[in-house]
């Protein structure tokens, strides 16, 4: 693995980080931003990002090869799972999608370039410019690279210098992405820093907070609250707390030959990123009363998960995770042995996948790593009644419903407060313009100048 | 089923153990519907197996989810709860007079083998838990009471109190006085307690800037996890603090592994011996199994502890725990517990 030493994360593991190093890195980033980034056009930045994204999709790309070669050991995903996740992410890096994002969040493609007026602003004789922070610090967490890569992408569009602080042993893909930007255009790469340290290192984090004017963070609600408290006055903070997602399958789509197709889509959602993202389903609510009972759908899902395992294995996991899965399986095996209200299907001689069907419709958190609950409900209203427990935590609902009902279902979910509704099978493939947790991800980074002409 | 509780069962080889295990499994299979369904779901019945390793282990969750016992309601004179305090989310292990007698007959010889070998002097007994009156559902407290009764020390003290919510509080002043009196009389002690109570003890001593040098021959038994009841320390760190504040060398700190769902315990050393490794008594067997395959792991590999305990007469002799260990030549080394496996209403921790 021959990556040049561009970033702090490239230093050998024994290198000790000091607050001074962080401060100096931040100051260098800001100088570089002024020279190399602040005055770039959106069109230029989009072109670079599209080029980088399409390179990541190329089988011969050195960064992709490195990601797939070292990612399985570094991150615990199989090569195939990684490839599918990265493909879903970088396929979104198209000119049309970037335009859609800019139009959606900013109302005008040139908004970050100069004072411009959208038609309705013209009528009011106004012109408006959006400005990004000078130094944007990201505190990223978790196994998935998507949030960090999207943060870097949006930060570049915002013309911000960026310091990306990754969790221990989680910098590998953000680091590769930063290198790919560096290679595409070294001057843009010089406005990026990637470092890795154990969260809660207040000396390093304070040095970073002192220099940054905007901090984004992903993590538990407690972590976010603590971080927000530690920020010096006047700094902006954007926290993305943990979210949960689930699926809903209406009885109407489980007739004829469709049921297996729906089960395959559900299996795609369960296996994507090994179910570890906030957008991955913890459970599937399946409506009773159709041709195929929910328990039979659960069995189909188990078959599809086994199929998936053959082409896209989950990959080995640490013993603690395997133990958690094995212990949780045993609870449902016990129940299944004594009652016909629970059934369990599981990968043979491994913890690779598990399906638990329960008649009990109460919401249940999964232990993830491809462990999915299927629960029977009479209708969507009943599903939402049981999901009340997580109502303020729901990110995505993957929906499979007949065409004639889908609008009504989507409206019911939207009114209830779901931030994102998508087709089953697409839960881990949000579009580039996805409003993260229901908020404009790019727009939330920016400040505005209104000129009343 | 007749229970004999006289003397120490001598189970020299695997043959007798195997015979007794299969016989007990047969009885449990016949009389315990949950156990029978579990075994059948795994394709196992008394007729289909020849070796104790083939007996299906009942997960500890079964002691939470069901009444894992053949005792009818009227005979359940004692129940041990896994948290020692509350029925909610606790494993329940029911006993009657007979099975309690077996429990006591099982615990004493293996305890004394490890903590009170032949050369042991007369020891004062300090127990860092409440007494059985205050903690009637703790199998650990019952064990410590039994030890107190069998050992018959001249002086003994249970130095903790159970609060109204069942939480245990160490009476530090009382414990200190007891320790100082023993030191004054030059009498070595047997100090028994949970890891978190030892943390409270050494923290209390540190706060008062007191270091005690307990008389030579003093030995410590430390057991169990923390369950959020004190700050959590690495085992080596806890042992270092015990050595620093009580003057007991690491060689005289013995770790115990036991649980409400079992009737026998494992110990990781005979007091004073140089090496550690958990071993169960001859009437029990321990395996470390892969959570992936359920098969025993190779030495040096981690897995889940599975115990086959002939003293578990009315429940299940084979118990699958959620505790992680590394299999070693000497037995096993504990490394922790599988992350929370609450089946409902768990927090957002796994997200």
pLDDT given at position B82: 84
pLDDT band at B224 (very low <50, low <70, confident <90, very high): confident
Two structure tokens written together for A117: 């007026």
Handedness of CA B6, B7, B11, B12 (dihedral sign): negative
Which pTM does this prediction carry? Answer: 0.92
Distance CA B241, CA B237 (A): 6
Q: Which residues of B touch A (CB under 8 A)?
A: 33-34, 37-38, 40-41, 59, 61-62, 65-66, 290-294, 302-304, 320, 322, 324, 336, 338-341, 343-344, 346, 348, 350-351
Nearest CA in chain B to A369: B350
pLDDT digits (tens, 9 = 90+) for A205-226: 999 999 999 999 998 899 999 9
In chain B, the N- to C-terminal Cα span, in Å, equals 48
| Residue range B282-300: mean pLDDT, rounded | 96
Phi, psi of A137 (to 5 degrees): -105, 135
pLDDT band at A168 (very low <50, low <70, confident <90, very high): confident
| Residue range A363-373: mean pLDDT, rounded | 96
ipTM reported for the complex surpasses 0.85: yes
- Chain A: nearest CA to B59, how far in angstroms? 6
- Contacts of B128 by beta carbon, 8 Å cutoff, 6+ apart: B159, B160, B170, B175, B191, B192, B193, B194, B197, B198, B200, B201
As a three-state string, the secondary structure of B230-271 is CCCCCHHHHHHHHHHHHCCCHHHEEEEECCCCCCCCEECCCC
Two structure tokens written together for B305: 């502890």
Judging contacts by C-beta atoms under 8 Å, the chain A residues touching residue B40 are 337
| CB-closest option in B38, B65, B344 to A364 | B344
Q: Is the pLDDT of residue B347 over 50?
A: no
B194, B195, B201, B206 alpha-carbon torsion, rounded to 10°: 180
CB B311 within 8 A of CB B106: yes
Distance CA B127, CA A294 (A): 54
Phi/psi region, residue B265 (left: phi>0; alpha: psi -120 to 50; beta: rest), is: beta
CB A373 within 8 A of CB A387: no
Closest CA to B235 of B126, B140, B335: B335
Contact assignment for A334 to B293 by CB distance below 8 Å: no
Distance CA B285, CA B17 (A): 9
Q: Where are the beta strands (DSSP E) in A294-443?
A: 342-346, 354-358, 371-377, 394-400, 420-423
CB A284 within 8 A of CB A366: no
CB A210 within 8 A of CB A235: no
Contact assignment for A326 to B304 by CB distance below 8 Å: yes
**Average pLDDT value for chain A:** 96
pLDDT digits (tens, 9 = 90+) for B68-114: 999 999 999 999 998 655 556 789 999 999 999 999 999 999 999 99
Distance CA B203, CA B244 (A): 11
Distance CA B149, CA B37 (A): 40
Coil, helix or strand for B320? strand
Q: Scan for tokens 């289909």, then name that residue.
A: B48
Decide if A244 touches B, using CB distance below 8 A. Answer: yes
Q: Residue A55: count other Cβ atoms within 10 Å of its Cβ.
A: 18
Contact assignment for B338 to A244 by CB distance below 8 Å: no
CB pairs under 8 A between A and B: 97
pLDDT given at position B340: 54
| CB-closest option in A325, A334, A368 to B291 | A325
Judging contacts by C-beta atoms under 8 Å, the chain B residues touching residue A325 are 291
| Residue range A152-179: mean pLDDT, rounded | 96
Nearest CA in chain A to B34: A338
Coil, helix or strand for A114? coil
| CB-closest option in B40, B65, B341 to A327 | B341
Closest CA to A88 of A162, A144, A47, A154: A144
| Residue range A411-430: mean pLDDT, rounded | 98
Distance of CA A22 to the CA centre of its chain: 27
pLDDT digits (tens, 9 = 90+) for B171-216: 999 999 999 999 999 999 999 999 999 999 999 999 999 999 999 9
Judging contacts by C-beta atoms under 8 Å, the chain A residues touching residue B293 are 349-350
Distance CA B291, CA A347 (A): 12
Distance CA A244, CA B186 (A): 61
Q: Scan for tokens 């427990």, then name that residue.
A: A389
pLDDT digits (tens, 9 = 90+) for B4-30: 444 444 555 789 999 999 999 999 999
pLDDT given at position B103: 97
Q: For the sheet with B156-158, list strands across it.
A: B156-158, B124-128, B189-194, B219-223, B253-257, B266-267
Coil, helix or strand for B162? strand
Two structure tokens written together for A443: 């727009």
- Chain B: nearest CA to A211, how far in angstroms? 31
| Residue range A158-174: mean pLDDT, rounded | 94
Handedness of CA A370, A373, A379, A385 (dihedral sign): negative
- Contacts of A109 by beta carbon, 8 Å cutoff, 6+ apart: A42, A99, A102, A103
Judging contacts by C-beta atoms under 8 Å, the chain A residues touching residue B33 are 338
Contact assignment for A349 to B304 by CB distance below 8 Å: no
| CB-closest option in B61, B293, B339 to A349 | B293
């Amino acid at each position: 693995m021959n990556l040049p030493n561009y970033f702090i994360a490239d230093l050998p593991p024994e290198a000790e980080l000091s607050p001074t190093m962080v401060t100096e890195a931040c100051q260098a980033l800001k100088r570089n931003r002024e020279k190399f980034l602040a005055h770039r056009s959106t069109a230029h930045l989009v072109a670079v990002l599209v080029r980088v994204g399409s390179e990541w999709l190329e089988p011969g790309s050195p960064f992709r090869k490195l990601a797939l070669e070292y990612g399985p050991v570094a991150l615990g995903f199989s090569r195939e799972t990684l490839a599918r996740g990265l493909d879903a992410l970088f396929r979104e890096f198209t000119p049309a999608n970037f335009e859609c994002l800019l139009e959606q969040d900013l109302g005008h493609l040139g908004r970050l370039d100069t004072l411009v007026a959208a038609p309705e602003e013209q009528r009011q004789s106004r012109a408006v410019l959006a400005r990004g922070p000078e130094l944007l610090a990201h505190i990223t967490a978790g196994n998935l690279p998507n949030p960090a890569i999207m943060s870097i992408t949006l930060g570049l569009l915002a013309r911000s210098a960026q310091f990306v602080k990754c969790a221990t042993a989680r910098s590998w893909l953000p680091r590769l992405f930063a290198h790919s930007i560096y290679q595409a255009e070294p001057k843009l790469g010089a406005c990026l820093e990637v470092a890795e340290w154990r969260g809660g290192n207040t000396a390093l984090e304070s040095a970073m907070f002192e220099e940054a004017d905007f901090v984004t963070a992903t993590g538990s609600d407690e972590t976010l609250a603590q971080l927000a408290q530690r920020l010096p006055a006047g700094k902006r903070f954007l926290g993305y707390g943990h979210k949960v997602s689930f699926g809903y399958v209406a009885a109407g789509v489980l007739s004829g030959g469709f049921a297996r197709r729906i089960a395959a889509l559900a299996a795609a959602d369960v296996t994507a990123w090994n179910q570890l993202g906030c957008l991955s389903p913890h459970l599937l609510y399946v409506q009773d009363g159709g041709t195929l009972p929910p328990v039979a759908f659960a069995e189909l899902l188990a078959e599809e998960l086994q199929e998936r395992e053959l082409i896209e294995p989950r990959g080995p996991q640490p013993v603690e995770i395997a133990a958690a899965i094995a212990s949780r399986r045993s609870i449902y095996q016990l129940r299944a042995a004594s009652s016909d209200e629970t059934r369990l299907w599981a990968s043979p001689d491994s913890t690779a996948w598990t399906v638990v069907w329960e008649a009990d419709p109460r919401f249940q958190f999964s232990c993830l790593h491809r462990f999915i609950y299927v629960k029977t409900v009479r209708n969507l209203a009943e599903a939402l009644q049981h999901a009340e427990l997580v109502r303020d935590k729901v990110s995505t609902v993957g929906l499979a419903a007949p065409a004639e009902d889908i609008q009504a279902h989507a409206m019911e979910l939207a009114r209830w407060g779901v931030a994102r509704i998508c087709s089953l099978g697409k839960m881990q493939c949000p579009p580039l313009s996805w409003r993260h947790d229901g908020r404009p991800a790019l727009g939330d980074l920016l400040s505005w100048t209104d000129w009343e002409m | 089923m007749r229970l004999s509780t006289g003397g120490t069962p001598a189970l020299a080889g695997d043959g007798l153990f195997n015979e007794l295990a299969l016989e007990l499994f047969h009885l449990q299979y016949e009389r315990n519907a949950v156990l029978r369904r579990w075994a059948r779901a795994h394709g196992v019945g008394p007729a289909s197996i020849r070796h104790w390793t083939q007996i299906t282990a009942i997960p500890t969750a079964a002691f939470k989810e069901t009444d894992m016992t053949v005792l009818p309601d009227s005979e359940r004179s004692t129940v041990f709860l896994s948290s020692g305090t509350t029925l909610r989310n606790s494993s329940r292990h029911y006993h009657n007079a007979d099975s309690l007698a077996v429990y006591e007959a099982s615990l004493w010889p293996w305890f004394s083998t490890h903590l009170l070998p032949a050369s042991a002097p007369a020891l004062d007994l300090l127990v860092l838990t409440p007494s059985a009156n205050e903690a009637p559902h703790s199998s650990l407290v019952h064990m410590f009471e039994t030890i107190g009764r069998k050992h018959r020390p001249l002086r003994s003290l249970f130095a903790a109190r159970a609060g109204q919510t069942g939480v245990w509080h160490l009476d530090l002043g009382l414990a200190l006085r007891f320790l100082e009196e023993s030191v004054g009389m030059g009498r070595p002690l047997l100090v028994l307690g949970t890891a978190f109570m030892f943390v409270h003890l050494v923290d209390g001593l540190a706060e008062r800037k007191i270091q005690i040098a307990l008389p030579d021959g003093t030995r410590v038994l430390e057991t169990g996890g923390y369950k959020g009841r004190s700050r959590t320390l690495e085992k080596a760190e806890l042992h270092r603090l015990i050595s620093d504040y009580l003057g007991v060398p690491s060689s005289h700190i013995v770790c115990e592994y036991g649980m409400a769902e079992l009737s026998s315990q494992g110990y990781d050393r005979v007091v004073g011996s140089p090496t550690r490794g958990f071993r169960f008594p001859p009437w029990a067997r321990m395996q470390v199994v892969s959570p992936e395959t359920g098969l025993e792991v190779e030495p040096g590999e981690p897995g889940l502890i599975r115990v086959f305990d002939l003293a578990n007469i009315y429940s299940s002799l084979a118990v699958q725990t959620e505790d992680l260990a590394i299999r070693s030549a000497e037995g096993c080394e504990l490394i922790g517990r599988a992350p929370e496996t609450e089946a409902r209403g768990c927090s957002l921790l796994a997200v």
